[in-house]
């Protein structure tokens, strides 16, 4: 296969730098066939790569003109030497900076999968979108979403578009701009989540999907489909969708990934409020140089660091094995020489702290991305211990920690700081987060990645739902005390049943 030979010759580092993941023939055939069935008389690929869509188009109709753009000279040179013998018109250019008045009847693309911050022309791209579309893209928009937004603006009347995309934007803040563009004039027709991402992309680390859009003047309901196998793509649009939602029923501010769920719950909203009613989740401390800022007891003593310069801090999620972190558990970790002492150097620095800073500079820690933008470089973000932690990543169940040791934490957890008057409800929220009902309710705000990995950002949690204080107050105190004193993380069945009442068994249509 061409992609295998290219991958071997280019190397993993080069492919990661350019965000290159190659399209499976079954996916390319489905996307091109859908566009051509709509009557497109020409095809354009903004990220040509190894020409998978060109090959699929030729197999369907060799007479269809094909053109595209590509920025990576290496992959273009490889294609020219190893291609299919029918070279299309490919321009070596940066698609995100190449704007024209040309409108395309058919656009098909598997864009680079890169975070926007890693793109070398980031500032120029942001300015171009502001100038050309009047859109101010958030700095954390990924490259694939920027490709899609530009292509939507280039689709001609009657044209069709098919994009292979990481679907995380459906649940993110920056995705609101993209979703708004998809909804305008009824452009979006279907989203197909590929639950077979490992079959199609063995190296994928995020959930992938195919977006189908058409500028046909109709506001058709948007179909949400799921493909469990690549084979399913052949007839997937002929099968009932997981959800069929009118465009006016989709809000850009909402998270759309839950539309793919087989069973969608409506919840008892009078008994639920946003979590920011109780307090605020925020990310953990980002040091920028953990090797400098996180030490164990032995290392601290060897460097002569005073206890006044050290704060207890969980640096890895795996260090907390139970649902409660108390002082005894913390001391046990310290005794095992776990790295959970945060070096907190506050001016004026004493002699040992000054020497430690000098060692850090000799090692180059002051030139890291985060540290070089701080003054002084060794000054950390101010944080107070959060009584409740929520794991950033999870599989199958949330990782929730009741922090009774007053320890700090790094970015492996988000910390919840309650409003003063809401402190009495911390234990109740802890129990709720451990319930199966919470997994369903909070799950509407999660971001789903490849291989079952799930992620929450702080604001995903702040806008998630939790029971009201009035609902919590109806729980028997004895049941709550029993659950909090249980030796394991499993909730008593009676308490699980109580939380299950938050889910409506028979949601309205």
Q: Are 85 and 211 found together in one domain?
A: yes
Q: Which two tokens stand for residue 13?
A: 């580092």
Is 97 exposed, middle or buried, given 0-12, 13-18 or 19+ CB atoms closer than 10 A?
A: middle
Q: Are 289 and 203 found together in one domain?
A: no
User: H helices within 363-489, ranges in order?
Assistant: 426-433, 436-442, 458-462, 469-473, 477-485
Q: Which two tokens stand for residue 428?
A: 């109740």
Note whether residue 509 is domain-resident.
no
pLDDT value at position 384?
94
pLDDT value at position 198?
61
Q: Are 156 and 24 found together in one domain?
A: yes
Q: What is the rounded CA–CA span in Å between residue 30 and residue 132?
A: 31
* Farthest-apart Cα atoms in the chain, separation: 77
User: What are the backbone angles phi and psi of residue 50, rounded to the nearest 5°?
Assistant: -100, 10
pLDDT value at position 86?
64
Of 227, 260, 293, which one is at a domain's C-terminal end? Answer: 260
pLDDT digits (tens, 9 = 90+) for 400-431: 999 999 999 999 999 999 999 999 999 999 99
Q: Are 59 and 197 found together in one domain?
A: yes
Q: Are 410 and 312 found together in one domain?
A: yes
Note whether residue 508 is domain-resident.
no
CB atoms inside a 10 Å sphere around CB 132: 12
C-alpha dihedral, 77 to 82 to 83 to 84, nearest 10°: 160
Q: What is the rounded CA–CA span in Å between residue 119 and residue 94?
A: 11
Of 202, 226, 260, which one is at a domain's C-terminal end? Answer: 260
Q: Are 242 and 341 found together in one domain?
A: no
Of 236, 260, 284, which one is at a domain's C-terminal end? Answer: 260
Domain that holds residue 172: 2-260
Q: Are 421 and 488 found together in one domain?
A: yes
pLDDT value at position 505?
42
Residues of the chain with pLDDT below 50 are 505-509
Note whether residue 267 is domain-resident.
no
Q: Which residue has the tokens 């890895």?
A: 316
Task: Tell me if the pTM is above 0.85.
Answer: no
Q: Which two tokens stand for residue 46?
A: 């903004």
* Count of domains observed in the chain: 2
Note whether residue 490 is domain-resident.
yes
Q: Are 181 and 290 found together in one domain?
A: no
pLDDT digits (tens, 9 = 90+) for 436-489: 999 888 887 777 666 667 888 898 898 889 999 999 999 999 999 999 987 666
Number of H helices, E strands in the chain: 19, 23
| CATH code, domain with 245 | 3.40.50.150
DSSP state of 312: E
Note whether residue 350 is domain-resident.
yes
């Amino acid at each position: 296969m061409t992609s295998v030979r290219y991958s071997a010759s280019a190397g993993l580092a080069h492919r990661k730098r350019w965000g290159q993941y190659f399209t499976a023939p079954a996916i390319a055939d489905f996307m091109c066939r859908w566009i051509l069935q709509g009557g497109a008389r020409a095809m354009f690929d903004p990220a040509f790569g190894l020409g998978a869509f060109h090959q699929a188009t030729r197999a369907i109709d060799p007479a269809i003109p094909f053109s595209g753009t590509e920025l990576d000279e290496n992959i273009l040179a490889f294609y020219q030497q190893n291609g299919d013998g029918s070279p299309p018109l490919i321009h070596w250019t940066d698609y995100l900076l190449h704007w024209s008045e040309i409108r395309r009847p058919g656009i098909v693309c598997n864009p680079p999968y890169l975070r926007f911050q890693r793109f070398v022309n980031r500032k120029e791209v942001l300015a171009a979108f502001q100038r050309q579309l009047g859109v101010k893209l958030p700095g954390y928009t990924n490259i694939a979403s920027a490709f899609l937004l530009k292509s939507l603006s280039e689709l001609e009347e009657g044209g069709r578009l098919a994009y292979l995309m990481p679907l995380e934007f459906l649940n993110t803040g920056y995705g609101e701009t993209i979703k708004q563009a998809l909804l305008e004039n009824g452009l979006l027709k279907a989203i197909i989540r590929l639950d077979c991402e490992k079959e199609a992309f063995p190296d994928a680390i995020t959930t992938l999907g195919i977006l189908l859009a058409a500028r046909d003047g109709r506001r058709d309901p948007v179909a949400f489909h799921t493909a469990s196998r690549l084979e399913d793509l052949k007839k997937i649009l002929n099968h009932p969708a997981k959800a069929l939602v009118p465009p006016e029923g989709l809000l850009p501010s909402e998270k759309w990934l839950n539309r793919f769920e087989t069973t969608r719950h409506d919840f008892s909203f009078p008994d639920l409020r946003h979590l920011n009613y109780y307090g605020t989740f925020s990310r953990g401390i980002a040091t920028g140089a953990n090797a400098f800022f996180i030490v164990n007891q032995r290392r601290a003593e060897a460097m002569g660091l005073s206890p006044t310069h050290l704060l207890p801090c969980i640096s890895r999620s795996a260090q907390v094995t139970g649902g409660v972190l108390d002082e005894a558990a913390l001391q046990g970790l310290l005794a095992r020489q776990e790295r959970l002492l945060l070096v907190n150097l506050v001016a004026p620095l004493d002699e040992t702290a000054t020497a430690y800073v000098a060692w850090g500079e000799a090692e180059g820690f002051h030139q890291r991305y985060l540290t070089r933008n701080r003054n002084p470089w060794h000054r950390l973000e101010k944080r107070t211990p959060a009584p409740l932690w929520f794991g950033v990543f999870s599989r199958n169940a949330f990782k929730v920690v009741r922090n009774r040791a007053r320890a700090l934490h790094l970015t492996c957890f988000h910390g919840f700081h309650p409003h003063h008057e809401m402190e009495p409800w911390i234990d109740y929220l802890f129990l709720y987060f451990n319930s199966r009902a919470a997994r369903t309710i909070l799950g509407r705000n999660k971001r789903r990645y490849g291989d079952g990995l799930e992620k929450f950002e702080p604001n995903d949690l702040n806008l998630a739902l939790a029971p009201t204080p009035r609902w919590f107050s109806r729980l028997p105190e004895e049941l709550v005390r029993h659950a909090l004193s249980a030796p394991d993380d499993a909730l008593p069945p009676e308490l699980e049943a109580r939380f299950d009442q938050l889910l409506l068994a028979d949601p309205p249509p």
